[in-house]
């Protein structure tokens, strides 16, 4: 079973998607050869449409459409027209941008997505679109181009690795037409960043969507090794069960001891040669969470292959970061395990000793994510990091608090929180800061050990964060609870049903800005090698 799973995993996750090819050109869109062109218009500037399609025999038809208010330019409104034989393109898709004062980066991303999706459905193969570079509204050409690149590419994602009939991306090429030559360099840069961020997001989606018999802790480690082999900047090391035991990672070991698939600890290191303090990302890698002996309900267990969404996001972000050649040492730590019921499983009432030496009393084996993260947060200390950020599908309580529209942020440093929130606003992977006050620490005070792994229902997201904070006391730390944002049940612009890949673009954006704003720091600790 293991070898078969690994074979499927190698074939599908490594080679299971095809990216939309995007090129950038300076010129007029009405001269572009394509199966279809996309023209984006603000509601108050519909007249510009006539200038764009002038002398193509479409004026009368489109003017009639505007006069009858069949097209008003309202946000996300679309209308398809067919071009005469004299035109170099066959179709024109008009897309409403709403009112100019409301235009922002996320709207640009969504507009790109719905435009491409509509043309994909009718079998279009080549598309040209006017760039957003002249629609700035106070926004940079680079950021808008990145949004256009991301929305176009991510909207076409489909996960069909295990279907006998595969779907095809009929759209082979998108040409973005830049009308102002001075914006050409910025647009090219933005499209390139969007490409790598999209690739990382798709990588994460694939990893998370794969079933648990494919993505085991071992398979996740093997994929990370393969990723590093294909990168100039990434190094990878995977610590096996024996190495984990030797280190004293009792919390990680306890979670994984009930499964036939052994736990491991994955280390991905970008720019290991740099002497500055590293930035560290930690991703919860529970490849399947049954709840252990505190078994989940039938409905609750069905999506638990996605409990490694934090790990998937971190791996996807590291892929994007390496391709962008970000000049900062960045390390990803992934505690990977499968939480299963068995005669060897850890039990409610057990006490486990963490890597830090602190002990934790187990009240629920279903509160396992905070246990594996505790050992990872402690391990991070050996690198003398400038900041540590962990991502985890950690608590249902966070979903109760924020729904599916934002992830919960718990942070020990105001500047770090500010930078993360800003990156989340740019990428629309939004996060909302929640408290982790001393009072929440009191709820997890242990009865027979230093701590207990559950503080009960009240403030469940904050008490879980309070436990993590116990192991992140020597560096600026942020915990992002993505339980409500990691997956979705329906297509929403550029996020498909299933895994979203939430966190990849957030971390990539954050890493770019952190690198740009951080000077060379003190030499790394001599104990920071693996």
485-496: pLDDT as tens digits: 999 998 899 999
Q: What is the pLDDT of residue 76?
A: 96
Q: What is the pLDDT of residue 136?
A: 78
Q: What is the pLDDT of residue 54?
A: 55
Residue 120, Ramachandran bin (φ over 0: left; ψ between -120 and 50: alpha; else beta): alpha
Q: Nearest Cα to 207, choosing from 328, 300, 308?
A: 308
Q: What is the pLDDT of residue 72?
A: 85
| Residue 382 DSSP label | G
CA distance 194 to 113: 13
CA distance 157 to 198: 10
Residue 47, CA atoms < 13 Å, CB-side half-sphere: 1
375 to 84, 217, 265, 357, 371: CA distances (angstroms): 66, 16, 10, 10, 7
For the structural domain made of 2-199, what CATH number should be given? 3.40.220.10
| Residue 527 DSSP label | T
What the block records as the tokens of 173 is: 């090429």
Q: What is the pLDDT of residue 48?
A: 57
List of the chain residues with pLDDT < 50:
1-4, 7-16, 55, 520-530
CA distance 137 to 140: 9
- Please compute Rg for the chain using Cα positions: 25
Q: Where are the beta strands (DSSP E) in 213-278?
A: 234-239, 264-270
Give 136-186 as a DSSP string.
-TT--HHHHHHHHHHHHHHTT----TT-SS-------EEEEEESSGGGHHH
Q: Nearest Cα to 526, choosing from 385, 384, 377, 356?
A: 384
Options 3.40.630.10, 3.30.413.10, 2.60.40.60, 3.40.630.40; which CATH number does 224-517 get?
A: 3.40.630.10
Q: What is the pLDDT of residue 65?
A: 74
Which pTM does this prediction carry? 0.93
Which residues are the active-site residues?
Answer: 296, 370
Q: Going by C-beta distance under 8 Å and a sequence separation of 6 or more, which residues neighbour residue 38?
A: 92, 93, 95, 115, 119, 127, 128, 129, 130
Q: Nearest Cα to 136, choosing from 96, 176, 107?
A: 107
């Amino acid at each position: 079973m293991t070898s078969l799973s690994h074979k499927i995993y190698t074939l599908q996750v490594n080679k299971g998607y095809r990216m939309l090819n995007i090129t950038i050109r300076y010129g007029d869109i009405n001269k572009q050869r394509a199966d279809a062109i996309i023209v984006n218009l603000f509601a108050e500037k519909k007249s510009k449409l006539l200038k764009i399609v002038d002398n193509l025999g479409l004026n009368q038809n489109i003017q009639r459409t505007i006069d009858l208010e069949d097209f008003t330019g309202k946000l996300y409104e679309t209308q398809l027209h067919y071009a005469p034989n004299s035109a170099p393109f066959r179709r024109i898709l008009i897309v409403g941008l709403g009112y100019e004062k409301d235009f922002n980066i996320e709207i640009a991303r969504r507009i790109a997505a719905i435009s491409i999706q509509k043309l994909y459905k009718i079998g279009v193969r080549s598309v040209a679109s006017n760039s957003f570079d002249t629609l700035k509204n106070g926004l940079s050409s680079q950021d808008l181009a990145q949004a256009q690149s991301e929305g176009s590419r991510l909207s076409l994602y489909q996960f069909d690795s295990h279907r006998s009939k595969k779907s095809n991306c009929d759209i082979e090429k998108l040409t973005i037409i830049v009308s102002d030559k001075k914006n050409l360099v910025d647009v090219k840069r933005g499209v390139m960043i969007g490409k790598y961020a999209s690739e990382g997001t798709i990588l994460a989606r694939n990893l998370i969507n794969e079933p648990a018999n494919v993505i085991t802790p071992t398979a996740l480690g093997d994929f990370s090794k393969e990723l590093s082999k294909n990168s100039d900047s990434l190094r990878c090391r995977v610590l096996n069960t024996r190495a984990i035991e030797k280190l004293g990672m009792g919390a990680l070991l306890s979670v994984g001891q009930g499964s036939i698939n052994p736990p491991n600890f994955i280390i991905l290191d970008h720019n290991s040669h740099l002497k500055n303090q590293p930035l560290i990302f930690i991703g919860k890698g529970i490849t399947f969470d049954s709840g252990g002996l505190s078994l989940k309900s039938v409905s609750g267990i069905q999506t638990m292959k996605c409990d490694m969404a934090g790990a998937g996001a971190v791996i996807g972000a590291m892929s994007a970061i390496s391709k962008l050649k970000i000049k900062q040492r960045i390390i990803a730590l992934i505690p990977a395990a499968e939480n299963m019921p068995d005669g060897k499983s850890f039990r409610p009432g057990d006490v486990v000793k963490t890597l830090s030496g602190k002990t934790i009393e187990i009240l629920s084996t279903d509160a396992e994510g905070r246990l594996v993260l505790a050992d990872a947060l402690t391990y991070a200390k050996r690198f003398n990091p400038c900041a540590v950020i962990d991502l985890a599908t950690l608590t249902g309580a966070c979903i109760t608090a924020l729904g599916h529209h934002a992830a919960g942020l718990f942070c020990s440093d105001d500047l770090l929180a500010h930078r993360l929130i800003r990156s989340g606003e740019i990428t629309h992977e939004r996060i909302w800061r929640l408290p982790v006050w001393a009072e929440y620490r009191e709820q997890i005070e242990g009865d027979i050990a230093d701590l207990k792994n559950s503080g009960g229902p009240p403030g469940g997201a904050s008490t879980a964060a309070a436990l993590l904070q116990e192991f992140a006391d020597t560096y600026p730390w942020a915990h992002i609870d993505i339980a409500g944002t990691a997956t979705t049940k329906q297509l929403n612009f550029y996020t498909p049903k299933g895994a979203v890949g939430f966190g990849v673009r957030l971390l990539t954006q954050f890493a770019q800005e952190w690198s740009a704003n951080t000077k060379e720091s003190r030499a790394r600790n001599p104990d920071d090698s693996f």
